[in-house]
Structures are given as C-alpha cells and as structure tokens.
Amino acid sequence: MVNNIVSLNKEKVFRDPVHNYVYVKYQFILDLINTTEFQRLRRIKQLGTTSFTFHGAEHSRFSHSLGVYEIARRISERFTRSYATKATGDGLWNPAEEPVALAAALLHDVGHGAYSHTFEHIFHTNHEQITQEIITSPTTEVNQVLTQVAPDFPAKVASVINKTYPNKQVVAMISSQLDADRMDYLLRDAYYTGVKYGTFDLNRILEVMRPIEDGIGFEMNGMHAVEDYVMSRFQMYQQVYFHPVSRSMEVILDRLLLRAQEIFAKQTETTPDTPYLLLPFLNHEFNLADYLQLDDGVLNTYFIHWKQHGDSDLSDLAHRFIDRKPLKSVKFDDNTQDLLPKLRGLVEQSGFNPRYYTATDNSFDMPYDAEKPNEKQIQLINPDGSLQGLADVSPIVRAIADRFSGDNRFFFPREILQSSANVDLFQPEYDEFNHYIKNNQLIHPKE
C-alpha cells in the first residue's frame, strides 16, 4: 500500500497526562509532528472559551491530536496482533492499513483555526475542508512528509478525513459514534476541566473492540463499558460543553469579531489598530497561508489593542472578552420566546446596541443516535458472531437515544439586572426588564 515506511532506531515517547505515554515508532509520524502546520496546534486551545469557566482547560489541539493518534495506534496494534486478515474478504484487519490510519488520526484536527468554531461562524471557514487542503496542498510541510511515504499517500489520508476511504474500519477508527477522537477528547477534557463526568474505562473498551466487515464492533461482554462511555459523553455535553458562561464568552467573541469586520473591512487607511493578519478574512480574500498564520494568541493580541480603540462597542466588547466579563443569560422555550423582541427593545432603551449585546443560542446534542442514516449504531458482537445495535440491547442507552438534550438561551448585558449609578437614567426600562425576566420564570436564582 505504501512504499517508504521507515521505523525509528529507537521508539520515541511523549509523556502525556491522559495516556501516560504516546509512542512513535515511524519516522514519518515524528516528521509530521515536527511540521509547521502541526506545531501551530500548540497555540490553539482545545476547548476555546471553556477556560473562562473551567480554569484548567488550557490544553491544546496539539495534545489532543497526539492522544487520538495514541488511541488509534493501540487499536491498530491490537488488531494486528489478534485480528489480522488471513484471506481476502474475511472482514479482519489488514496491518498494511496502519500507516494511513495513524496519519489520519494524528492530522484529523490540523485544520482547526483560532477559536475555531466561533471563527468558522463569522468567516465561513470549514476546518475539515482546510484539514484536507493542508494534507493535499504541495505548499505545506505536512504534504511534503506524506508524499515521501508514497505519491498517493496524501490523497488517501485526506479521504479518511472526508470519510470516503474504502476501508471502513479505518474511517470508523477516526470518525464514528465511538472513535479515537471522541474517546480522547472526553478523557482529556474531563482531566483538564477537573470534572469526573467524562471518565470511562478506555482499556476495557479497547480490549473488547474488534474489526468487523463494515467497520468496528465491540464484544457483547463489554456492553457496560460502552454504556459508560455513552453516558460520559452525555454528561460532558450537559455539564461542560454547554455551560452558559462558556457560551456567553463565545457570544462576546462572536460579536467582537462581527464589529471588527464592520470597522476594519471598510477602512481605506491602516492605523496602529489595523489587524493585518485578519484583513484577508475581513475582506473574504484569504488563502491557506493566511489561515495558518492565525492562532488564539494572534487574536488575543488584537483584542488587547482594541480595548483602547475609539469605537465604543469594539473597545467594550474587547474588554469584556479579555477581562472575562460574561453576559448574563436566561432560558427560553416556545412558550416564552415571544418575549425576546420586547427584551431586546428594553436592552436598547437602556443604552446597549442589541446587535452586539443580545443573542440567542441553542445548544443541543443527541448523546446517541440510533437511526442516523450515515453513521451506524455502535455494533455489539454476540458470541455467535451476529451483530446487534447498542440501543437495541441496552435499556440505559435506549432511554437517551434519538433525543436532543440542551436548552435555548437569551444573552444580554449583566448590568441590566444590577443596580448602579447609571440605572436611574433608565429606571423604568430596568424595572420592566426585570419584571419580564422574573415573572415569566426565565431565570433561576442560581444562574
């Protein structure tokens, strides 16, 4: 399959707080880690604004990518040892697939940008497409390393990311309802946020994992470990990923970039505040080289400068983001959403531009999808070799399957609910806003 796989004379190891060690035995994997594009991931936080809520969540996409690689390496190693193919079409693991699986695992997030999800929303980028471009573009160090393995090797790795690679076991290893990516980010995010929700028995899951004809399955006697993984994912989304303060800081970041786009995209002259590295995105004329120059630190540096900008909205939003001044939020549903235009009007009457200081956010997740057309259920393997979907066997998983969990929230300046010297100017509006919030039970005392 590939013609230039060189093993290291001595296995390279990286210390890791989640997996203890990350083992590298191939030269091309070490070379990929040392590329400019992969090293950039050190400067991009895995959880974006979550560190404003869970202060330990400072880990990077670099460490996560190494972790996904390590889990994929362990899976491939075990498959090769215990389930190596013996005849064409037997549905077992082909050890020759290991290099492409390891490369895809390592590089699956290399296209993430600064504050990736918020940045994508504002500037209409797509990290999966950019990941594939980084892998296939002759201008990148990543591509040059992959091409040395084999001329068609970059295309194969990119097709794994695109889920079109013909070997479904490789694709499932990187992208499925129980894959190396999800297993690492749950364990890693739980570790760095300091919560216990995301912990599960990784070793047991890897022990009961087996290659099957159309992907990867799990022995029936490991069902409870798989159940625990699904419940861990459910809890992490509800308690960590959907935390209202983290979402509030995402809203501020979104509005800050929106205001910056309105200001700097129209400028005909540059000033000390001009965000030169952002201009290609503000003007919708960026290329891959422009994209790779950005990271969280670049944006934060601009935000610090903007705190002193002459535009009051830009400077205030920059202050709120850099100095952690989150917006307040309240839940709403179908019965109370009719109040939102009135609340926005009261926010505006109180001196805040609702375009920048109000927002709605709906964060919902389906913890387990039993009917997803393009993503099979987690398959459990009976002793006789027959397969059953996890939700068909597990009452626990069936109880949460195919159901979205989360909430809708309306965000607004915290000052609206607080007394200050300026409140007297807008006392009627403040009183009316609080009346709507409290009387309609949009807010709970502890939120």
Looking at residue 416, what is its pLDDT? 80
Looking at residue 150, what is its pLDDT? 97
Nearest to 299 by CA among 137, 54, 119: 119
Which tops the pLDDT comparison, 89 or 355? 355
* pLDDT tens-digit series, residues 426-439: 456 557 767 776 66
Handedness of CA 36, 120, 402, 238 (dihedral sign): positive
Instruction: Give me the mean pLDDT over the 325-354 stretch.
Output: 87
Residue 176, pLDDT above cutoff 60: yes
Round to whole Å and give the CA distance between 90 and 50: 45
Tally of helices (H runs) and strands (E runs) in the chain: 22, 9
Residue 279, pLDDT above cutoff 80: yes
* Beta-carbon count within 10 A of 216 CB: 23
Contacts of 302 (CB under 8 A, 6+ apart): 260, 275, 278
Structure tokens, 367: 């913890």
* Beta-carbon count within 10 A of 287 CB: 11
Class of residue 16 by CB neighbours under 10 A (exposed 0-12, middle 13-18, buried 19+): middle
β-sheet bridge partners, residue 24: 12
Instruction: Give me the mean pLDDT over the 285-310 stretch.
Output: 96
How far is CA 305 from its chain centroid? 27
Q: 67-71, 198-202, 273-277, 305-309: which range is least confident on average?
A: 273-277
Amino acid identity of residue 283, one-letter, is N
* pLDDT tens-digit series, residues 115-147: 988 888 888 899 999 999 999 999 999 999 999
Residue 98, pLDDT above cutoff 80: yes
Nearest to 2 by CA among 110, 139, 138, 101: 101
The full set of domain ranges for the chain reads 7-170
Contact 329, 347 (CB under 8 A): no
Looking at residue 439, what is its pLDDT? 66
| Bridging pattern class, strands 215-219 and 379-381 | parallel
DSSP-derived 3-state class of residue 302: helix
7-170 fold: Hypothetical protein af1432 (1.10.3210)
Task: Please state the pTM of the whole predicted model.
Answer: 0.92
Round to whole Å and give the CA distance between 358 and 39: 37
Q: 187-201, 220-234, 332-346: which range is least confident on average?
A: 332-346
Please name the residue that has the structure tokens 């994912």. Answer: 233
